[in-house]
Structure 1
């Protein structure tokens, strides 16, 4: 078995236990905002063009998952667990014929058997020797032999959403609920708050994303099939369904055409605000992938360079929790990614401005957390300040993409310089200068923090933490370390402040 479809991995920190349980911070004041220009450093040009990305941070969230089985390859046995949903083996890969050119199917309609063996009209995606890859009315891709399809003049019709919902909850996701919206089918055993927040983000994002692509001259069409999103309550259920690397919280499966995610994570116990921001950002990011692959901007099995394949969802999917969980719109500042870029600039040897950052980003085969931040910054800069060149670059990718065919790093760089020029140092210098001027709210400093004060006799102890779990741990430690007499006179107060600086000021004032 070879993996020819997983184009990138999205680093993230985790998901919330429940959107509605977040302690909402106070409204931002002008003093909370600052300019990032003071934090990013410029450097003189350097010849160190081959320095790789740092890889100390775990790679977290799959954005496209398509494994392809070679015809005649080893059999794959998937253990079945009747107590929890498990992935259909057909969603784990597609049979193709090795060593042959892939011939586009031009969306010709064919008669083919669906998931249950019922004859339906499907769309031919491409030919691979004797194999044919067909999109079924459910949106799933299937691999069949040439003699298993029959050309037809009948039009393609998507599955009726009610029938699809019934099939999913009776065959795969037993006991799950369904929520149907205009374009989406949500299948979930997560909380109603999580399901509602997710559906609100994705439904509000879809029309604006389509409209934006149309305005930029990209050829688009409405999604032809229902967009399915599966939400598990827990990580254990998510992992039982399909084993994923540690830390993966969501991914878009290009074969099943589904986004899958889970709700509760350990991060919510440590930093609930960051957990919610990461979670809703991931919901929007994976939703962008699903939309772009369904409206014709990016072919279902097309492989773009990771920087643009991931940079576009980062650019298209900013979210906010200030006045309720919502999608903010295309192209606003991504505080989490900008924070990462600022932290990168503080690392020894971070020579921003010599062209190396852009070169590494454009030629990278995979992206770590630093790479995602750089991809967002580059996409933001080009879309805002080189829009004609950038959207012509995207139109060219859309025209020339072929199923499963990616480009080497050198080919990616050649395509990039053909559109944006070969003076990468000058381009990077301008990018850093412009990004440094963006209004920026530090997502770490500006999350709610607790101040815990404990008065034990004449002693006063305190901690400042964003974590409710740490508050509980601190109180438990007091109980285990103090004598019964000391505990009887100990006073503990817990106060919540909207930002870390305000919490620190309160703690310092109390200790004076």
Structure 2
């Protein structure tokens, strides 16, 4: 997740003249205290029950190319439950990492396992229609489906907003994959449909996302879940309330005009940020639950997050300077030290902690921007190495530093050059 918006909340108001004056509704700020909570959430749902992924599990035996269907029965506080899918990894104690046919991941520890059955039927991801049907069965009444080449969008807001959202995400998918393919990185099509749930308003989103987001729920406009492989968001236009008040519908043209406004920019950027995570984890660039440094995961998403929704110009966000992150970085130049970059390279802690997250996200964006601009070949090779990391196998801190310096050189001179580049932008 990306703490993008400025602190504080604002609301749109006034008589209805232009869509941007009436429909914006509550602009929920995303402060530093919401950093990466949903992205780092190690949890999933099985039959309505939340399962926390134990961070102490070290999965040693990776089941590459597993195709059979496995059924793992395990003990919970609510009784025995069973998850069905393919085992991606197993450890010496009998623990399993299981991927279901809808792309969800479940970790079961060895001591929880009560039985494992396999059959000869090959594992197969759900097709788009079956996937959509399964999602609708989980959601409250009133949801509908809009499908595109890569996305299954479930929504209970207007069809126009679902269409606008899917169009934006398809542009992102096309731009993201083209970018990496031009860089020489071989990507693949998503194995599972990319699931997006769009709620009609912020209150519904907060209620349905509370289990995943906890205390951050009220300050988040959208998030991607590593466990479920889904993006959740709500209608940023406030069209649901507008429709109830006036009986009028909001057109796609109105939506485009509204969400191209400066007030909406950080909100749309957040949706792009979370959707970038989803694409990266589904096209072979990254693996879920692999030990990939947050400076790379989050800094890359910030690099991609700014859309240009001007009429007729489409997606033009890749590589643009992130002005919000640049401003924060420059504010910190008075106390600048190469140790700042060393800190985010060595540990995820600066990006996870409330006190340091806002600055660390800006440092992570700056580091990704610098490496892409100044060491593009080394950057691609580093990303390629990280793409081969296996789930739930952690690397020691000193390896993180050596991995970095092996590709990019010593941290101190690199950090000074980075600071100089940021001053000149």
Could you say if the C-alpha distance between residues 88 and 232 of structure 1 is closer, same or farther in structure 2, counting changes exceeding 3 Å? Answer: farther
2:222 matched to which residue of 1?
250
Deviations 1:104-157 (A, max 9, x none): 11131122459xxxx9984321113323322222112245658433153x5443
Looking at structure 2, the residues matched to 410 and 202 of structure 1 have their Cα atoms a distance apart, in angstroms, of 37
Query: What's the offset of the Cα at 1:257?
Result: 0.8
Helix, strand or coil for the counterpart of 2:324?
Answer: helix
Higher relative contact order (CA 8 A, sep 6+): 1
Tell whether 2:33 aligns with 1:58: yes
Q: TM-score, normalised by structure 1?
A: 0.63
Tell whether 2:393 aligns with 1:393: no
Helix, strand or coil for the counterpart of 1:331?
Answer: coil
Work out which of the residue numbers 292, 307, 311 in structure 2 matches 1:323: 311
Work out which of the residue numbers 18, 21, 44 in structure 1 matches 2:19: 21
Matches within 5 A, 1:208-287: 208-243=175-210, 244=213, 245=216, 246-264=218-236, 273-287=261-275
Deviations 1:349-370 (A, max 9, x none): x333x41332233234242122
Looking at structure 2, the residues matched to 199 and 168 of structure 1 have their Cα atoms a distance apart, in angstroms, of 17
Larger radius of gyration: 1
Query: What's the offset of the Cα at 1:318?
Result: 2.5
5+ residue gaps in structure 1?
A: 1-8, 24-55, 70-86, 439-512
Looking at structure 2, the residues matched to 195 and 159 of structure 1 have their Cα atoms a distance apart, in angstroms, of 22
2:335 matched to which residue of 1?
351
The 8 Å contact of residues 122 and 135 in structure 1, kept in 2 or not, is answered as yes
Tell whether 2:399 aligns with 1:411: yes
Tell whether 2:420 aligns with 1:428: no
Looking at structure 2, the residues matched to 209 and 110 of structure 1 have their Cα atoms a distance apart, in angstroms, of 32
Helix, strand or coil for the counterpart of 1:111?
Answer: strand
Could you say if the C-alpha distance between residues 59 and 96 of structure 1 is closer, same or farther in structure 2, counting changes exceeding 3 Å? Answer: closer
Looking at structure 2, the residues matched to 411 and 97 of structure 1 have their Cα atoms a distance apart, in angstroms, of 19
The 8 Å contact of residues 220 and 296 in structure 1, kept in 2 or not, is answered as yes
Q: TM-score, normalised by structure 2?
A: 0.75
Looking at structure 2, the residues matched to 96 and 429 of structure 1 have their Cα atoms a distance apart, in angstroms, of 39
Could you say if the C-alpha distance between residues 381 and 92 of structure 1 is closer, same or farther in structure 2, counting changes exceeding 3 Å? Answer: farther
Work out which of the residue numbers 350, 356, 360 in structure 1 matches 2:343: 360
5+ residue gaps in structure 2?
A: 13-17, 22-30, 73-81, 239-258, 352-356
Matches within 5 A, 1:142-153: 142-143=106-107, 145=113, 147-150=115-118, 152=120
Work out which of the residue numbers 305, 312, 330 in structure 1 matches 2:300: 312
Tell whether 2:114 aligns with 1:127: no
- How many equivalent pairs are there? 365
Query: What's the offset of the Cα at 1:230?
Result: 0.9
Matches within 5 A, 1:13-162: 13=5, 21-22=19-20, 57-60=32-35, 62=37, 64-67=39-42, 92-93=50-51, 101-112=59-70, 122-128=85-91, 129-143=93-107, 145=113, 147-150=115-118, 152=120, 154-162=121-129
The 8 Å contact of residues 66 and 253 in structure 1, kept in 2 or not, is answered as yes
The 8 Å contact of residues 17 and 263 in structure 1, kept in 2 or not, is answered as no
Query: What's the offset of the Cα at 1:372?
Result: 1.2
Could you say if the C-alpha distance between residues 432 and 123 of structure 1 is closer, same or farther in structure 2, counting changes exceeding 3 Å? Answer: same
Could you say if the C-alpha distance between residues 157 and 100 of structure 1 is closer, same or farther in structure 2, counting changes exceeding 3 Å? Answer: closer
The 8 Å contact of residues 13 and 247 in structure 1, kept in 2 or not, is answered as no
Looking at structure 2, the residues matched to 311 and 160 of structure 1 have their Cα atoms a distance apart, in angstroms, of 32
Query: What's the offset of the Cα at 1:103?
Result: 1.8
Query: What's the offset of the Cα at 1:219?
Result: 4.0
Helix, strand or coil for the counterpart of 1:148?
Answer: strand
Looking at structure 2, the residues matched to 16 and 168 of structure 1 have their Cα atoms a distance apart, in angstroms, of 33
Looking at structure 1, the residues matched to 123 and 274 of structure 2 have their Cα atoms a distance apart, in angstroms, of 26
Looking at structure 1, the residues matched to 53 and 269 of structure 2 have their Cα atoms a distance apart, in angstroms, of 33
The 8 Å contact of residues 140 and 256 in structure 1, kept in 2 or not, is answered as yes
Query: What's the offset of the Cα at 1:317?
Result: 2.8
